Structure 1
Amino acid sequence: MAFFGPKRSRTALAASLRDSSKLSSRLRELLSNRGTLSRLSVCLLTILILMVAVESWKAPFPYRLGTYSAHGILASVSFKMANPIETDRERTQKESEVPYYFIQNPDLIDKLPGLLKEDLKAIANAKSLDELNSDSRAELGLTPSRRLEQFMDQFPEESEQTFAELKSRVSSPDSSDDKKITAIIDDFKKLISPLKIYGIVNENDLTKHQIRAGDDIVIIYNGKDEKGVPLKPKHVSTFDIRLPDQLSASGVLEPEWNKFPDLDSMKAVLSHWIHFQAPTTLVYDAARTQAERKQARQEVEEVYDTFQRGTVLVEPGQLIEDNQLSLLRAEYEAKEKAVPYYERVVRITFIFLMFVVLAVLNGYHLLRNKKAVARTVSRLSIYLSVIVLTVFLGRILSYDPWRAEVLPLVVTVMVFAIVYDQIMAILTALSLSLVLCLSTGGSLGHFVVLMSVSSVAVTSLATVSSRSTLIKLGFGMGLTYFLVYWGINLINSQELSNGFLDQQVLWESLQGAGWCLAAGYMVAGSLPFIESLFGVVTDISLLEMSNVSHPLLQELVRRAPGTYNHSISMATIGEAAADKIGANGLLVRVAAYYHDIGKMLKPQYFIENMVVGSESLHDNLAPAMSTLIIIGHVKDGVDLARQHNLPQPIIDFIEQHHGTTLVEYFFREAEKQADQSPDHKTDAEESSFRYPGPKPQTREAGVMMLADAVESASRTLSDPTPKRIKSLVHSLVMKRLLDGQFNECSLTLSEINVVEESLVKSLIGIYHGRIKYPEERSA
């Protein structure tokens, strides 16, 4: 026992152990709560997504276009950088080496012998040149005016002589003409057999696809050889496939003429005829050619330039331009590849801890001041999703050419200032500015710029009374950005004279100011969507809803004029009381207009709508039934509000303006009946005569509850003197205070006292005394 020290130390240790036990028990209780686990899971998931969004495993790239480098930048590591110009040159060269592909159709060549046979028979049957038809004469070169220039010098001067020689070869008096012609055709088939291999191209195809003499051409055959093996492609040149070149002295047909002496003597005529009759057999295969060229380009590897460590990447006093930025990016990527695994783990761990700290900072504020957001998974998810989206867009837009990270930041800050409060907006701005600067390599000066613009946005958005307010705020934020950004760069410049007129700084300042102005327009234009997404209502919407021409208010006037007058009076005194404690008086006034719309469904059951002297409908009902009708106007009001798409905050006022108060009149009636009839004792249970709630959740709802109560009760005063009004208001306030109706809202006792005084003052003004005019004397 001596190890534990004196008795006092043992007592302190025991107390400490008990406190630790209680804390552990409380922690286990929280973790066992399914809702708490869900919210913690959402927060953890958000942190993980943010770590991916900021690329937490690598350092930020700090350079931007136009950044001034006073001392220059040297390469800290050796690296390679792709040379797109040289790479494209080599790929273009490789692409140009790809041949043009043509598909050969040799069956068209097989038709030529038959056509020649018909013309030869016509010559054999003709007695003179004139008996041949004009087309045959032109094809055979027997018409000088239509003779091709290529064969002009190969024909005799007289066409009749050519005809006579040709006729003598295809016919004779002592032998059959068919045999001679058949022998010629058989030799002709062998003569033109190279055309089935090389094919014949259309000159227009060569011109259209810019195929030049000397370009490599590949002929694709769809058929098979005698053994059934697919024919291999053949590489040729344009000289081999152009018909004029094929018929020339060095063409592919020239060696064949010597093999057939009978045909060689008819060479000029047959060549002329082939030139006229030979069909185009080669079809350009564009798809195959382009595919081969694409593959050839892809096979060429990227050409890299090597930069050694110590190479000057940016000269001293130079602005970073496109080329330098590309070099710096390549160096950055090379350094990142060399980072060891354990360093990346350390970096990720530290960034995770930083996000946890920021989450705790913002989460503490949510738990203390925005419990509805912190304890509702859906609202918390929306809040965190907006933050993730802001970081993601901010990082993307921070790079060139946008340089617009301020845009999503300011939009988010403005939205949070409108939706939540200014403290929450500035805390979010601090966290987002820190994350964006650290994850994009931003300087301390840039952090100051972002926070300055965010502060202007937050401090100017206590209320949004009109859309022009947001536009004016956009101009204010733009001016702030321009002055702060320009001023910080001026301070950092050693030569102030140059800093004043630095065009790059002025341009960046104007660019950021433009994004701030755009943010104002974006929020102003998307305000209805913001209200719908976050379930809030701005002063702009409240002013629109306060118009008495709203269908619900018009219907309330028609069906329940007494309730309408009560709502108008209550709105007046409630707004004044809310303004006294710094609450949203406009919200109280508009909510008061709609808080009793449920009464229009059964207006005759509510005293303010009953005609003086008429019998009350409640006289024939049991107190419990009357209570159900009275309480039912809350549910009916909520249903009507949702049917007319009223915003959720107004619906909350309808639900909360009675809280869980007691319908006292009918409860007392039930108690009287229970006293007279002991069998009905259970009919007078207090819980059955209370509104279902919930109790007021906001200061504005608490103010409206009091305004509703005192405005209704003041109408029962027969002589509303200031003293009686003050006594009535005090008793009603104390009754609701002691009933615990304000336990769930943030109204303090001092604020309740201020509200009470305001209500008394307003009611005295309404029921102020008047001078009694003397009656006229009778004549």
Structure 2
Amino acid sequence: MPDKTKISTLRRSKPQKRGERETFHGSRHSRKKSRWFGPNVQKWVILIGLSIIISIVLFPNVLTRPKIYKLGDVADRDIKASRELLIENNELTEKSRQEAIKEVLPVYDFDPTGTNIQTRIGDAFSAGRKYLAEVPSVTDSPEKLQKDQSANAEAFKQGFFETLDISPDEKIISFLIKKGFPREVEETIIDLVTQVQKKGVVINKAILERQSGMGIFLHNIHTGQELKVTDLNRFYDMKVARKIINGQIKALEKSFSSSRLAEVAVKLSVALIKPNLTFNKRETELRKDLARKSVKPFYFKVKKGEMLVREGERIQVEHLLRLSEENKSLKQKEIIGRAPAMAILIAYLLATIYMVGLLTDGSSRAEAKGLLFNAVTLLAVFLVVVLFNFMAEEVARGFRFFSPRTILFAAPVASGAMLVAVFQGMRLTASFSIIISVLAAFVVGGDAEFFLYFFVSSLIAGYGVRHCRDRGVFIKTGLKVSLTNMILTLAMEALHGSLYSPETLIACGAAFIGGILVGVLATGLLPLFEMSFGFTTDIKLLELANLDQPVLRELMVQCPGTYHHSVYHDIGKIRKPLYFVENQRANQNRHEKLAPSMSSLILISHIKDGVELAQKHKLGRDIIDIIRQHHGTSLIAFFYEKAKEQRKKKVRKFLQIKEEDFRYPGPKPQTKEAGLIMLADAVEAASRTLVDPAASRVQGLVQKIINRAFSDGQLDECELTLKDLHEIAKSFNQTLGGIFHHRVEYPKPVTDGKHMRRRETDANGRTAWLSKQGDNGNTDQLPGGDSRPNKPEDKTEAGESLKRLGLS
């Protein structure tokens, strides 16, 4: 039989080990997952994501496409320059370029020698004389020569005219052959042609004059030299050149022996005249292009905030030019540089403030959640400022006497500082105020004065609600912020020299309204953030302190004993109230029939039950954490010792007793508050078992319990110091001294030397003898007629109760 029991026990233990292995592997998987997206990664994701979102909001054109207007469209809104623009004046630039092009003189190639015309004339006449020298007999009978159709004669004639580059003329060649190609004719032709060619001959002088109103550049194709010529009358066209040569015939007839020779010389000269002044289009266009490029564009400056186009105005060419430059500047610069640069600046600002510890409360507990709250609050307030900036521009557009700057004084930037001060304290409020003030100043145009305005009002707002215990404090602080805002506004307007202007009055009104909005906005957002992030504020705690809470009413009905010594940390006892000593009636201890392990499980279960009830009644994360932690991992010593005693007595011989099975699951207290409640709960329970609650006994009990919790390591994870524990012990001693104070014993009335007594029976059937006068002042007398335990057996029962609590 024992062997079977042992075997069954071992079998039961195997699934537990397998489960332990599964838990180990599961925890290893969760640790691997947490490394990739643990708290540190979460915090950096929050910071970087917040920076990107803010930069996108500051530069929305990164994601949105601006409206494109066409010529003749009507503007649907006022459009101002978002920054200083330098816009090219295309009309003026093009006009200047055209003027530069007009100043470029046409280039004409000039061949003063007429493509070596002198050489050609000499070669042609020399060839003719050579030809005649080879056939001298021909001169004696020209008739025979004219009839000679030999191949040599035809070749000579063709070569003669090809050399001169003129059309063949049979009469002229025949006359020259007859005369023997006289040198005087050759020289005359050269003189006539050279005189005309040196002047310059063009095909059409009218075209030359039309192209070159200011002159031309004369480019000598042989020397490469250029000469600017403004007098175009010096040039001949073909008609004039021929006329000039023909006009020389009478003078030539006098110098020649025959008029026919003069006629042939003039006729050949006219035929030889060719245009030697030709327009070089390629060079002229090249020079025009260089002149065009040499003209720098003309720009006009548009200052930031200057109106580009007004609402209802019809779009003109100039408007299109300005809008195009504005859209082009926004899109290119913001995508390429400004938006990413702003994201980097904001990320560095947030990361630096975070790394130096100005965005945390000094502990790692729920740090990611706190950072997320800061990020959400920062983004919410930032978007409110952006909305106010947009509203200010719209209002100023509709009401010309309003300035956007004056309306911005009403932006409720300080509401974020209020929320941070309530949830996280003033240390984080100062850091938050710096960040939101910088970002708000960016939104309103980067004005340093507005940074100071927002920063000071944020600090005043946070300081006013640092110990907020009433929602009305938000409105009162809002009024203080209003007064501060008005003073700052007057100072800012005085700096601008507009203290006595009507805008100052409007700005002061906006500043006052802004302070009121700060209080109203913070009041409205407070419950939302409390529920969303699980924060427990002083206001929430005061509301929970109301004894009319449903869970407290249920605790009072189900667990009257527990209700009188605890509030929320023991609400889990509602599920099984009669298993806890303070709720048990006389001689009705249900643990006597249970195994010690089962009793410990029941006691431990009130932690889980309490957490479930707290979640059901939405008591808040801090209350739930204290419920989990108020016993830490302390040992239920009474049932642990009872289990070991039973094993020794062989009542449960094969039972495996593990100390961890008799410890609460924890975690250990993580905060000072949780540690304090743990000690207070233990001290209060133990003090009720004192037989003689003298001051020395109470002090010894308090010191014993605190020392036991300290030595057991229950206070290792909270921030309680030894100095704190000393102060806690003093406070406990004072409180317990007030509870167990001694009353003055009143003198007994004497009646005939005998003390008269009467017998009474209560509702439970218990009988007690009472004096006729009622309470005789005996401090050992308890309500209902029971007396304090003075008998040895009563003291033993009190000791057992102390052990059952795990405190002896």
TM-score where L is the length of structure 2 = 0.53
Deviation digits for residues 624-649 of structure 1 (CA, Å, limit 9, x no counterpart): 11111111111122222223332232
Matched, 1:77 2:86: yes
Q: For residues 752 and 360 of structure 1, do their structure 2 counterparts lie closer, same or farther at Cα, with a shift above 3 Å needed?
A: farther
- 1:717-749 alpha-carbon deviations (Å, 9 max, x no partner): 112222222221122112222222223333233
Matched, 1:606 2:580: yes
Superposition map of 1:621-636 within 5 A: 621-636=594-609
Within the alignment, does 1:776 sit opposite 2:749 as a pair? yes
- The amino acid across from 2:518 in the alignment is A
Q: Give the conservation status (yes or no) of the 8 Å contact 1:56–1:351.
A: no
Unaligned runs of 5+ in 2: 1-31, 63-81, 90-297, 396-403, 755-808
Instruction: Give the secondary-structure state (helix, strand or coil) at the position aligned to 1:46.
Output: helix
Change (3 A) 1:343 1:531: closer
Which structure exhibits the higher relative contact order, with contacts defined as CA atoms closer than 8 Å and separated by 6 or more residues?
Answer: 1
Q: Given that residues 394 and 405 in structure 1 are in contact (C-alpha distance below 8 angstroms), is that contact kept between their aligned partners in structure 2?
A: no
Partner of 1:266: none
| Contact in 2 for aligned 1:57/1:348 (Cα 8 Å) | no
Match of 1:469 among 465, 470, 473: 473
Q: CA deviation at 1:475?
A: 0.7
Deviation digits for residues 373-394 of structure 1 (CA, Å, limit 9, x no counterpart): 4345xx6545423322332332
TM-superposed deviation, 1:696: 1.9
1:558 corresponds to: 557
Matches within 5 A, 1:572-583: none
Shift of 1:323: 7.2
Q: Letter of the 1:393 partner, please give it.
A: V
Matched residue of 2:535: which SS?
Answer: coil
Give me the whole-angstrom Cα distance separating, in 1, the residues matched to 2:552 and 2:425.
30
Kindly provide the CA deviation profile for residues 412-461 of structure 1, in whole angstroms up to 9, marking residues without a partner as x: 22222222222222211211111221343232211111011100111112
Contact 1:553/1:594 (<8 A) preserved: yes
* Alpha-carbon distance between aligned partners in 2 of 1:519 and 1:409, rounded to the nearest angstrom: 7
Q: Find the aligned partners of 1:485 and 1:363 in 2 and give their Cα distance.
A: 31
Superposed, 1:2-401 pairs within 5 Å as 34=38, 36-55=40-59, 77-78=86-87, 309=300, 334=325, 337-338=328-329, 345-348=336-339, 350-364=341-355, 365=357, 366=359, 369=362, 371-375=364-368, 380-399=371-390, 400=392, 401=395
Provide the residue aligned with 1:743 in structure 2: 716
Closer, same or farther: CA 522–39 of 1 in aligned 2, 3 Å: closer
Aligned-pair identity in percent equals 29
C-alpha distance in structure 2 between counterparts of 1:54 and 1:551, whole Å? 48
SS in structure 2 of the partner of residue 677 of structure 1: coil
C-alpha separation in 1, matches of 2:551 and 2:711: 35
Q: Distance in 2 between matches of 1:643 and 1:666?
A: 31
Which SS does the other structure have where 1:776 is aligned? coil
Paired residues of 1:562 and 1:608 also in contact (CA < 8 A): yes
In 2 relative to 1, CA 659–404 (structure 1 residues): closer, same or farther, beyond 3 Å? farther
Q: Residues 75, 698 of structure 1: CA spacing in aligned structure 2 closer, same or farther, 3 A cutoff?
A: closer
Name the SS of the counterpart of 1:759 in structure 2.
helix
2:300 is paired with a residue of what secondary structure? coil
Letter aligned with residue 570 of structure 2? D
Distance between the aligned counterparts of 2:607 and 2:305, measured in 1? 72
Q: Cα RMSD over matched residues?
A: 3.7
Structure 1 distance, partners of 2:457, 2:320, is: 30
Q: Secondary structure at the match of 2:565?
A: helix
Deviation of 1:615 (Å) = 3.7
Superposed displacement of residue 462, structure 1: 1.8
Q: How far apart are the structure 2 equivalents of 1:667 and 1:74?
A: 78
Aligned letter for 1:706? L
Tell me the SS of whatever aligns to 1:371: coil
State how far apart, in whole Å, the 2-side matches of 1:338 and 1:383 are: 34
Query: 1:617 pairs with 585, 590, 598, which one?
Result: 590
Counterparts in 2 of 1:387-466, with a 5 A limit?
387-399=378-390, 400=392, 401=395, 403-404=407-408, 407=411, 409-466=413-470
Secondary structure of residue in 2 paired with 1:775: coil
Alpha-carbon distance change, 546 to 338 in structure 1, aligned in 2, over 3 angstroms: closer
CA contact (8 A) 1:390 1:409 kept: yes
Match of 1:727 in 2: 700
Between the aligned partners of 1:463 and 1:725, the Cα distance in structure 2 is 35
Amino acid at match of 1:418: V
Alignment-mate amino acid for residue 363 of structure 1: Y
Deviation digits for residues 41-93 of structure 1 (CA, Å, limit 9, x no counterpart)? 343222222221222999xxxxxxxxxxxxxx99863489xxxxxxxxxxxxx
Distance 2:490 2:309 in 1: 23
CA distance in 2, matches of 1:74, 1:438: 13
Tell me the secondary structure at the aligned position of residue 762 of structure 1. helix
Q: Residues 321 and 52 from structure 1, CA distance in 2 versus in 1: closer, same or farther, beyond 3 angstroms? A: closer
1:342-361 CA distance string (max 9 Å, x none): 89745445433322222224
Q: For each residue in 1:462-503, what CA deviation from the matched residue of structure 2 results, as whole angstroms up to 9, or x when unmatched? A: 22221211111111111111111212322453xxxx62x232
> What amino acid maps onto 1:765 in structure 2?
G
1:77 is paired with a residue of what secondary structure? Answer: strand
Distance, in Å, in 1 between the alignment partners of 2:34 and 2:579 is 47
Aligned equivalent of 2:671, options 671, 675, 698? 698
Partner of 1:755, secondary structure, is helix
Cα distance change of structure 1 residues 724 and 344 upon mapping to structure 2, 3 Å threshold: same
* 8 Å Cα contact 2:572-2:606 kept in structure 1: yes
Give yes or no for contact 2:646–2:652 (8 Å, CA) kept in 1: no
8 A contact 1:74–1:310 mirrored in 2: no
Give the whole-Å Cα distance in 1 for the aligned partners of 2:304 and 2:571.
73
- How many angstroms does 1:337 deviate by? 3.5
Which amino acid in 1 is paired with 2:585? V
Distance in 2 (alpha carbons) for counterparts of 1:417 and 1:691? 35
Distance 1:714 1:322, change over 3 A: farther
Rounded Cα–Cα distance in structure 2 between residues aligned with 1:652 and 1:597: 13
Residue by residue, what CA displacement relative to the aligned partner does 1:23-43 show, whole Å, maximum 9, x if unpaired? xxxxx9996565543443343
Contact 2:410–2:512 (CA under 8 A) maintained in structure 1: no
1:716 to 670, 689, 702: 689
The 2-side partners of 1:747 and 1:764 are apart by 24
User: Relative to 1, partners in 2 of residues 1:537 and 1:630: Cα closer, same or farther, differing over 3 Å?
Assistant: same
**Larger Rg: 1 or 2?**
2
Match of 1:760 among 710, 718, 733: 733
Partner Cα separation in structure 1 for residue 545 and residue 340 of structure 2 = 53
8 Å CA contact 1:467, 1:524 repeated in 2:
yes
Letter of the 2:423 partner, please give it.
V
Query: Aligned pair in 2 of structure 1 residues 38, 396: CA closer, same or farther (>3 Å)?
Result: same
State the match for 2:128 in structure 1.
none
Equivalent position of 2:506 in the other structure: 507
How many residue pairs get matched? 474
What is the alpha-carbon distance in structure 1 between the residues aligned to residue 478 and residue 324 of structure 2? 38
Deviations 1:660-705 (A, max 9, x none): 1111211121222233339647543111111112222222222111
Distance 2:574 2:305 in 1: 77
2:536 match: secondary structure: coil
Query: How do 1:523-562 residues align onto structure 2 when only pairs under 5 Å count?
Result: 523-562=522-561
- Counterpart amino acid of residue 86 in structure 2: V
Which residue is 2:15 aligned to? none
Per the alignment, residue 165 of structure 2 pairs with none
Taking structure 1 as the reference length, the TM-score comes to 0.55
Q: CA deviation at 1:370?
A: 5.0
Partner of 2:254: none
Q: Distance in 2 between matches of 1:452 and 1:615?
A: 66
For residues 174-216 of structure 1, what are the alpha-carbon distances to aligned partners after superposition, in whole Å with 9 as ceiling and x for unaligned?
A: xxxxxxxxxxxxxxxxxxxxxxxxxxxxxxxxxxxxxxxxxxx
Asked if 1 retains the 8 angstrom alpha-carbon contact of 2:675 and 2:715, the reply is yes
Q: Work out whether residues 395 and 405 of structure 1, in 8 Å CA contact, stay in contact via their aligned partners in 2.
A: no
